[in-house]
């Protein structure tokens, strides 16, 4: 969306109860295949409306007293010629004034992984063309749509001996060129080119074309550059700049250094001073050399009032980084604790077993296997660099192969994204995690000689001197483990792991104990250490499904026998559509399961089976998701043409499903009880997010039903005109009518709006209020979670259902039948007994006694949020 488009929906968002927007990205950006990424943090995105558009958005926000949180990614920038800093580095190499901005090993020429085939083949095919770029005002190599500037000193190789005034003038400019004033050099070339005669330009163009067609001369030109063009396969072994887990076409930024930090943050910090920007969400913070020091430095520049959150994923048992001086994390861990509430752990083992028997294989692609594959393919160069560093630190410590195994084992086995160190050494809790990881490795039956591993441990536990080799190893190791975990789990593992929605990295919880008690414990901690941290439920780069799609899948755990029998039935029905490609079933049983599971997640509630256009849209989203899955799990296709027949066969299988009307009818009938239970899960999740300690994040359009899948743009189109009209309708419509028409999403929209508006009325209650778990007794005590929020004389009592499938499986609306509650009751603290409260959703008023019966309190709606006057 453009800035102006966003400004146009500000009145709607304000009415919904939103008080702050987050936008990503707002700076100059390009599409990198996984969405848009900012390549220039000093310029507002022209495609989004530039400065004028941003002013319009800022004015709209100011009118309603709303703020703006800007996403920044100080870890990396796209390695594109559009990036002025990177362009300068490509042109001048280590002499560039921006050389220190990027994390590059300057002992070698930059290896750029862009070629589709070996360099000699590209040269012979004349796909590399020498050109003068009239926009960049530089000589360079054009390959596809990308331009690579030449090292100015190499101009002589091209232009010497050419009887042409323009060429001679260019050479004169080169003789005076200074890499610290490279802008002046390009201004001079521009003036020379613009004032030259057409005939002289044509002579230059002819010279460039001749060299492009002369293999020997072109190779001479290429060998004189500060960069070299290589294939992706070659780059994996020889990368000499830090790249992100997402793409080799990104480059790490060294914001730990003073000038890069200043240059990267200058404009964002200016916006913090002069606009409605109130703070920043820092993406990929685990990729930085020193997240702690960075966040402290950002706080020092931004000020104590700025709202700062770290896009940091806390895995099981990982401590909150209190020393970072941020207000909290982006809140993805809330997805885990909420999902843990909704899944039926008692039946999960049965689902896993049925899954295994259905597909004829184990249900888990263990995340360590995925990490190993990623480490030895995408990050092979980084692994070798670490081994080389160890040899430099202590040449006789161990054999190179032993060191490689020791480092590999640690990277693969580490159960968190990374450890953290400072000048005193590895931080306490992470020292314990490292030691436990090493103990696990040494306890394996195939454990090798412990000496190399202990040597690596000693290095990692040493004081972190950033200027020394040991400090360099520590930082590189920590950055590598974060990147490998991110790629392996967030991309590969999630697609190949197995049944339902517990495969997303932040849902990798193995907690099967008292999930209600666990929720209370984590919320009590959050209220203490990070009450302003975000609470996220919808998809991001860490998840695969929209928030309501996930709730549907979690409902499958409540009736695994129904779901698994249905999958077996559908697989048998369509067995004739399974092809065999190079001795591999297409789709294989695991992918077949994923197809049905994904369809169960994304099926629109309003879909009519005779609506061909809507069916086609669902089919397109499903195909795109499955293609992505096939690619990411790296077993059938890895962005190559080799396995295209396999992918086409799987797409044909999906087409056959959508052509089978009897299957579609059976699918919808079978899934409807799960969808109703999923909707109730969604209501509970919505209320929990709005009332638990923290700041709720509402993803675009997720105030209504969110059955989208990530990374599929077509599935994420939002009709804000429809949402605006629906909210107006929902505000005025009787609640029982909204429940009857629950499939439209208006009832969820009203639920979101009611709670966000309540937060606006009493913000301190939800941000700074105490969190008090409440006791539940009675027939359905295990199906309710309840708590009280308290701030001074303000209270909010919350009770929501969980695991509702058995109670609603025969009904047609997401509403817990009153008789199902029986004597289930929430015990009311004495301090609020006798006080009058009003339900946020229904508006009903009630006076509390020592017990609140669910059968009485939930007659109007199946969640309870009671606020004191």
Span 98-130, pLDDT tens digits = 999 999 999 889 999 899 899 999 999 999 999
Whether the upstream peptide bond of residue 587 has omega within 30° of 0, thus cis, is yes
Helix (H, G, I), strand (E, B) or coil at 804: coil
DSSP for 315-335?
-TTPPP-GGG--SEE-STHHH
pLDDT average, residue stretch 159-167: 91
Q: How far is CA 226 from the centre of its chain?
A: 33
Q: Contact 310/330 with Cβ under 8 angstroms?
A: yes
**pLDDT greater than 60 at residue 642:** no
Per the DSSP assignment, residues forming a β-bridge with 128 are 143
Query: Are residues 224 and 101 part of one domain?
Result: yes
Please report, for residues 335, 414, 506, 508, 547, the alpha-carbon distance to residue 332 in angstroms, rounded to integers and kept in the order given.
6, 20, 7, 12, 12
From 126, 274, 298, select the one nearest 214 (Cα to Cα).
126
Query: Are residues 275 and 202 part of one domain?
Result: no
- Indicate the burial class of 819 (C-beta count within 10 angstroms; 0-12, 13-18, 19 or more): exposed
**pLDDT value for 712:** 57
CATH number at residue 311: 3.20.20.80
User: What is the Cα–Cα distance from 761 to 755, expressed in whole angstroms?
Assistant: 10
pLDDT for 783-798, tens place per residue?
A: 999 999 999 999 999 9
**pLDDT value for 496:** 55
pLDDT average, residue stretch 149-156: 96
At residue 30 the predicted structure's pLDDT band, cuts being 50, 70 and 90, is confident
- Please report where in the chains the tokens 């693969």 appear, as a residue: 412
User: What is the Cα–Cα distance from 390 to 457, expressed in whole angstroms?
Assistant: 12
| Mean confidence (pLDDT) of the chain | 91
Q: Residue 487 is part of which domain span?
A: 365-496
pLDDT average, residue stretch 361-385: 78
**pLDDT greater than 70 at residue 495:** no
**pLDDT value for 638:** 41
User: What is the Cα–Cα distance from 549 to 705, expressed in whole angstroms?
Assistant: 9
Please report, for residues 37, 419, 472, 474, the alpha-carbon distance to residue 426 in angstroms, rounded to integers and kept in the order given.
33, 7, 14, 9
The encoded tokens of residue 542 equal 């860490």
**pLDDT greater than 50 at residue 769:** yes
Q: Contact 854/814 with Cβ under 8 angstroms?
A: no
Is the residue at 513 inside a domain? no
**Residues recorded for the chain:** 869
**pLDDT value for 245:** 58
At residue 363 the predicted structure's pLDDT band, cuts being 50, 70 and 90, is very low
pLDDT average, residue stretch 657-670: 97
Query: Are residues 490 and 428 part of one domain?
Result: yes
**pLDDT greater than 80 at residue 828:** yes
Element (H, E) at 479: helix 469-485
At residue 236 the predicted structure's pLDDT band, cuts being 50, 70 and 90, is low
Is the residue at 164 inside a domain? yes
pLDDT for 525-560, tens place per residue?
A: 999 999 999 999 986 666 788 999 999 999 999 999
**pLDDT value for 487:** 81
Residues sharing a CB contact under 8 Å with residue 867, sequence separation 6 or more, in sequence order: 758, 762, 794, 795, 796, 837, 838, 840
- Please report where in the chains the tokens 């076409």 appear, as a residue: 249
Query: Are residues 93 and 66 part of one domain?
Result: no
**pLDDT value for 714:** 45
User: What is the Cα–Cα distance from 602 to 619, expressed in whole angstroms?
Assistant: 10
Is the residue at 111 inside a domain? yes
Q: Which of 76-80, 92-96, 490-494, 574-578 has the lowest mean pLDDT?
A: 490-494
Whether the upstream peptide bond of residue 536 has omega within 30° of 0, thus cis, is no
From 139, 137, 116, select the one nearest 212 (Cα to Cα).
139
**pLDDT greater than 90 at residue 696:** yes
CATH number at residue 196: 3.30.1590.10
Query: Are residues 209 and 88 part of one domain?
Result: yes
The encoded tokens of residue 227 equal 């960069």
pLDDT for 720-730, tens place per residue?
A: 999 999 999 99
End-of-domain residue from the set 303, 330, 357: 330
Q: Contact 204/182 with Cβ under 8 angstroms?
A: no
Q: Contact 105/167 with Cβ under 8 angstroms?
A: no
> Strand 836-839 to strand 845-847: parallel, antiparallel, or no bridges (unpaired)?
antiparallel
Q: Contact 685/545 with Cβ under 8 angstroms?
A: no
**pLDDT value for 498:** 56
- Taken in order 465, 468, 472, 473, is the CA torsion positive or negative? negative
> Strand 20-23 to strand 307-310: parallel, antiparallel, or no bridges (unpaired)?
unpaired
Q: Contact 439/453 with Cβ under 8 angstroms?
A: no
Is the residue at 521 inside a domain? no
pLDDT for 248-296, tens place per residue?
A: 688 999 999 999 999 999 999 999 999 999 999 999 999 999 999 999 9
Query: Are residues 231 and 101 part of one domain?
Result: yes
Query: Are residues 398 and 482 part of one domain?
Result: yes
User: What is the Cα–Cα distance from 70 to 194, expressed in whole angstroms?
Assistant: 39
The encoded tokens of residue 196 equal 């030259």
Query: Are residues 302 and 229 part of one domain?
Result: no
**Number of domains comprising the chain:** 3
Q: Contact 699/22 with Cβ under 8 angstroms?
A: no
Please report, for residues 230, 443, 485, 503, 634, the alpha-carbon distance to residue 460 in angstroms, rounded to integers and kept in the order given.
33, 20, 18, 30, 31
The encoded tokens of residue 311 equal 């896009």
End-of-domain residue from the set 468, 496, 524: 496
Q: Is pLDDT larger for residue 574 or for residue 466?
A: 574
CA torsion, points 588, 247, 501, 540, in degrees to nearest 10?
-150
Query: Are residues 402 and 486 part of one domain?
Result: yes
Is the residue at 312 inside a domain? yes
Query: Are residues 320 and 371 part of one domain?
Result: no
Please report, for residues 147, 162, 190, 193, the alpha-carbon distance to residue 134 in angstroms, rounded to integers and kept in the order given.
11, 20, 8, 8
pTM for this structure?
0.92
User: What is the Cα–Cα distance from 592 to 570, expressed in whole angstroms?
Assistant: 10
**pLDDT value for 149:** 97
**pLDDT greater than 90 at residue 433:** yes
**pLDDT value for 640:** 42
Residues sharing a CB contact under 8 Å with residue 359, sequence separation 6 or more, in sequence order: 589, 590, 592, 593
Query: Are residues 92 and 70 part of one domain?
Result: no
Is the residue at 712 inside a domain? no
Q: Contact 684/342 with Cβ under 8 angstroms?
A: yes
pLDDT for 284-329, tens place per residue?
A: 999 999 999 999 999 999 999 999 999 998 887 788 888 899 999 9
End-of-domain residue from the set 283, 314, 330: 330
User: What is the Cα–Cα distance from 702 to 172, expressed in whole angstroms?
Assistant: 60
Q: How far is CA 530 from the centre of its chain?
A: 21
Q: Contact 74/61 with Cβ under 8 angstroms?
A: no
User: What is the Cα–Cα distance from 644 to 183, expressed in whole angstroms?
Assistant: 46
Is the residue at 454 inside a domain? yes
At residue 247 the predicted structure's pLDDT band, cuts being 50, 70 and 90, is low
**pLDDT value for 38:** 87
From 720, 750, 716, select the one nearest 732 (Cα to Cα).
750
pLDDT average, residue stretch 29-58: 89
From 75, 79, 125, 373, select the one nearest 236 (Cα to Cα).
373
DSSP 8-state class, residue 540: S
The encoded tokens of residue 369 equal 């296997």
pLDDT average, residue stretch 608-635: 86
**pLDDT value for 490:** 65
Task: Give me the phi and psi of 466, to 5 degrees please.
Answer: -60, -20
Query: Are residues 267 and 192 part of one domain?
Result: no
Is the residue at 518 inside a domain? no
């Amino acid at each position: 969306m453009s800035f102006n488009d966003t400004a146009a929906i500000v009145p709607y968002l304000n009415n919904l109860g939103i008080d702050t927007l987050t936008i990503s990205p707002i700076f100059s950006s390009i599409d990198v295949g996984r969405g848009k990424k900012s390549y220039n943090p000093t310029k507002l995105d022209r495609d989004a409306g530039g400065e004028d558009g941003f002013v319009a958005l800022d004015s709209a926000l100011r009118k309603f007293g709303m703020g703006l949180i800007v996403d920044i990614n100080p870890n990396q920038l796209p390695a594109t010629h559009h990036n002025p800093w990177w362009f300068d580095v490509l042109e001048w190499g280590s002499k560039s004034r921006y050389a220190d901005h990027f994390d590059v090993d300057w002992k070698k020429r930059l290896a750029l992984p862009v070629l589709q085939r070996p360099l000699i083949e590209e040269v012979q095919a004349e796909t590399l063309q020498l050109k003068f770029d009239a926009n960049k005002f530089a000589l360079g190599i054009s390959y596809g749509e990308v331009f690579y500037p030449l090292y100015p000193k190499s101009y002589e190789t091209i232009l010497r001996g050419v009887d042409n005034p323009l060429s001679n003038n260019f050479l004169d400019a080169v003789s005076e060129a200074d890499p610290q004033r490279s802008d002046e050099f390009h201004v001079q070339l521009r003036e020379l080119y613009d004032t030259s005669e057409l005939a002289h330009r044509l002579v230059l163009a002819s010279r460039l074309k001749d060299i492009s067609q002369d293999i020997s001369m072109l190779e001479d030109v290429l060998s004189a550059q500060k960069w070299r063009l290589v294939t992706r396969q070659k780059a994996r072994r020889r990368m000499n700049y830090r790249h992100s887990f997402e793409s080799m076409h990104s480059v790490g930024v060294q914001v730990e250094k003073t000038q890069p930090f200043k240059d990267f943050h200058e404009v964002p910090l200016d916006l913090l001073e002069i606009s409605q920007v109130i703070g920043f969400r820092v993406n990929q913070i685990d990729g930085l050399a020193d997240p702690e020091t960075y966040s402290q430095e950002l706080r020092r520049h931004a000020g104590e009032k700025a709202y700062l959150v770290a896009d940091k994923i806390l895995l099981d048992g990982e401590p909150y980084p209190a020393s970072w001086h941020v207000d909290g994390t982006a809140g993805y861990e809330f997805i885990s604790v909420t999902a843990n509430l909704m899944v039926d752990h008692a039946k999960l083992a049965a689902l896993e077993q049925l899954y295994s028997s259905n597909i004829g294989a184990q249900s888990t692609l263990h995340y360590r296997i995925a990490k190993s594959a990623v480490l030895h393919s995408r990050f092979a160069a980084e692994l070798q660099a670490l081994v080389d560093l160890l040899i430099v630190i202590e040449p006789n410590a161990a054999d190179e192969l032993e060191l490689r195994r020791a480092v590999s084992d640690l990277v693969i086995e580490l159960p968190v994204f990374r450890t953290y160190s400072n000048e005193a050494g590895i931080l306490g809790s992470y020292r314990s995690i490292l030691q436990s990881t090493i103990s696990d490795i040494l306890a394996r039956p195939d454990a090798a000689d412990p000496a190399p591993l202990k040597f690596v441990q000693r290095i990692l536990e040493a004081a972190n001197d950033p200027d020394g080799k040991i400090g360099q190893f520590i930082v590189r190791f920590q950055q590598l483990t974060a990147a490998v975990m991110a790629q392996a789990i967030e991309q590969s593992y999630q697609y190949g792991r197995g049944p339902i929605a517990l495969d997303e990295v932040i849902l990798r919880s193995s907690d099967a104990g008292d999930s209600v008690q666990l929720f209370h414990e984590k919320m009590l901690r959050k209220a203490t250490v990070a009450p302003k941290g975000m609470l996220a439920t919808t998809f991001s780069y860490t998840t695969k499904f929209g928030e309501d799609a996930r709730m549907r899948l979690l409902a499958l755990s409540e009736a695994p026998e129904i779901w698994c029998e249905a999958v077996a039935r559908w697989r048998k029905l369509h067995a004739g559509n399974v092809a065999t490609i190079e001795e591999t079933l297409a789709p294989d049983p695991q992918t077949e399961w994923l197809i049905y599971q994904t369809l169960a997640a994304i099926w629109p509630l309003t879909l009519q089976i005779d609506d061909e256009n809507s069916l086609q849209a669902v089919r397109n989203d499903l195909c795109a998701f499955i293609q992505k899955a096939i690619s990411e799990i790296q077993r059938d296709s890895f962005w190559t043409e080799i396995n295209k027949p396999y992918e086409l066969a799987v797409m044909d299988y999906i087409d056959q499903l959508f052509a089978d009307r009897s299957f579609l009818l059976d699918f919808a009938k079978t899934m409807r009880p799960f969808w109703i239970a999923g909707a109730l899960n969604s209501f509970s999740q919505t209320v929990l997010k709005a009332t638990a300690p923290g700041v709720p994040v509402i993803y675009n359009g997720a105030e209504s039903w969110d059955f989208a899948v990530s990374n599929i743009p077509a599935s994420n189109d939002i009709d804000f005109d429809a949402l605006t009209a629906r909210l107006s309708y929902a505000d005025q419509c009787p609640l029982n009518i909204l429940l009857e028409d629950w499939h439209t999403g208006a009832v969820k929209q009203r639920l979101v709006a009611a709670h966000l508006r309540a937060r606006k009325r009493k913000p301190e209650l939800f941000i700074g209020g105490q969190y008090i778990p409440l006791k539940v007794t009675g027939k359905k005590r295990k199906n309710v979670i309840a708590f009280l929020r308290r701030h001074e004389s303000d209270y909010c009592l919350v009770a929501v259902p969980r695991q509702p499938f058995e109670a609603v499986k025969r009904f047609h609306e997401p509403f817990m039948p009153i008789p199902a509650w029986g004597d289930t009751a929430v015990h009311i603290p004495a301090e609020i007994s006798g006080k009058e409260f009003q339900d946020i959703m229904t508006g009903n008023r009630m006076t509390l006694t020592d017990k609140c019966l669910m059968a009485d309190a939930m007659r109007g709606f199946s969640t309870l949020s009671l606020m004191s006057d």
